[in-house]
Amino acid sequence: MTQVSVTPPPTIPTKAHSVQPEVLEAIAKAKAKPTIVWEKLPANFVLPDDPVESIAQPLLAAALNESLEIAQHLAAETIVASNMALVVRINQRTIVKAPDWFYVPQVNPVGKNVIRRSYSPHIDGVVPAIVMEFLSEEETGEYSTRPTHPYGKMYFYEQILQVPIYVIFDPEDGRLEIRKLSPSGKYELQPLNENGRYFLESLDLYLGTWYGKRLDQTFHWLRWWSADDRLLLWGSEKIAQERLLLEAEKQRAEAEKLRAEAEKQRAEAEKQRADLAEQEILRLRQLLANQ
């Protein structure tokens, strides 16, 4: 009997066999619900001292704060901050993210002469109502939904902190994107109104863009408008407006002075006319009496 040697077909690895164990572990971690613990920043935690990516970032944040302060729009129990660490413990690791700007409507008071160096939601106060990021080129940047450390910013604000409003702004082209947390826990891009603005209920203000010059820097800025469409002014604009009002008041006072002077002259002329008329009457009476 002739024996036939049959070579078995090569074993085709399954998908599971073809994936490296560390990749599978990463996938499993990404799918697992993170363990979140709200805690204050550990005393020995060293905050990152990363430089800002452009001169626009601190200028934009300062401009937003300035107009709010001048309009006296912020209550004592609120805070607005830029590049302050938001702190949370995820899977036994302290995680911090420092947004370019954020607003918290209700915070717990701190002791006298105590300076906040971080903010821990649910410990120091409520979750920020608004977080803003100004466009950058980071791998874990504004649009990143990376669910593992280092966490993407959008994932962190959406899934970890669950911030109601997430704003992304590009000062170079003025692109403004506002995302609102939906009931399903996902961010949804919101439409802007006909003026390119969006009404933020937590601040009772519209947020929009404005192109122009401030502090010798010309680009697109974020600005606030009131519910009745009044622009909240910066300090320099407020001073310029007050100067115009003072000049207008000065001109009004000068016009009033001229009017009063003209009225005085008219009254004097009327008196002189009356006096002359009286004198003429007396003269005529005297003539009649002498006839």
Give the structural domain span for 259.
234-291
Residue-wise burial string across 262-290, b where 16 or more C-beta atoms lie within 10 A, e elsewhere = eeeeeeeeeeeeeeeeeeeeeeeeeeeee
pLDDT recorded at residue 283: 86
104 forms bridges with which residues in the sheet?
Answer: 79
Among 196, 212, 233, the domain boundary falls at 233
Same domain, 152 and 268: no
pLDDT recorded at residue 13: 47
| Spatial CB neighbours of 202, under 8 Å, sequence gap ≥ 6 | 103, 105, 129, 130, 164, 165
Residue 32 has pLDDT above 80, yes or no: no
Q: 291 falls in which pLDDT band (50, 70, 90)?
A: confident
Residue 31 has pLDDT above 50, yes or no: yes
Helix or strand or coil: residue 22? helix
Backbone phi and psi for residue 228, each to the nearest 5 degrees, phi listed first: -100, 25
Same domain, 85 and 202: yes
pLDDT recorded at residue 290: 80
User: Quick count: other Cβ atoms within 10 Å of Cβ 100?
Assistant: 24
Question: What's the whole-model pTM score?
Answer: 0.79
Same domain, 208 and 277: no
The answer to whether position 6 is within a domain reads: no
Q: What is the mean pLDDT of residues 101-111?
A: 95
Among 183, 201, 233, the domain boundary falls at 233
pLDDT recorded at residue 139: 54
Q: What is the mean pLDDT of residues 4-30?
A: 55
Same domain, 289 and 211: no
User: Quick count: other Cβ atoms within 10 Å of Cβ 186?
Assistant: 11
Same domain, 94 and 39: yes
Tens digits of residue pLDDT in 239-252:
999 999 988 998 99
Helix or strand or coil: residue 57? helix
The answer to whether position 40 is within a domain reads: yes
The answer to whether position 116 is within a domain reads: yes
Q: 33 falls in which pLDDT band (50, 70, 90)?
A: confident
Four-residue CA torsion sign, 105, 85, 141, 220: positive
Same domain, 272 and 245: yes
Same domain, 160 and 255: no
Number of domains in the chain: 2
Same domain, 179 and 83: yes
Distance of CA 95 to the CA centre of its chain: 24
CATH number for 39: 3.90.1570
Pick left, alpha or beta for residue 177 (phi over 0 → left; psi -120 to 50 → alpha; otherwise beta). beta
The answer to whether position 178 is within a domain reads: yes
For residue 227, the surrounding DSSP H or E stretch is: none
Same domain, 220 and 291: no
Q: What is the mean pLDDT of residues 199-228?
A: 96
Among 187, 205, 233, the domain boundary falls at 233
Structure tokens that stand for 149 in this block: 């450390």
The answer to whether position 5 is within a domain reads: no
How buried is 244 (Cβ within 10 angstroms: 0-12 exposed, 13-18 middle, 19+ buried)? exposed
Same domain, 288 and 202: no
Q: Could you give the angle at the alpha carbon of 95 between the alpha carbons of 53 and 176, nearest 5°? A: 45
Q: Are strands 165-170 and 130-134 parallel, antiparallel or unpaired?
A: parallel
Same domain, 253 and 269: yes
The answer to whether position 4 is within a domain reads: no
Same domain, 184 and 283: no
Q: 188 falls in which pLDDT band (50, 70, 90)?
A: very high
List % helix, strand, coil for the chain (3-state, nearest 5).
Answer: 35, 25, 45
180 forms bridges with which residues in the sheet?
Answer: 165, 188
pLDDT recorded at residue 285: 86
Q: 5 falls in which pLDDT band (50, 70, 90)?
A: very low
Torsion of CA 56, 195, 143, 161, to 10 degrees: 90
Helix axes 56-70, 235-290, angle to 10 degrees: 40
Distance of CA 90 to the CA centre of its chain: 28
| Spatial CB neighbours of 66, under 8 Å, sequence gap ≥ 6 | 234, 235
The answer to whether position 220 is within a domain reads: yes
pLDDT recorded at residue 12: 46
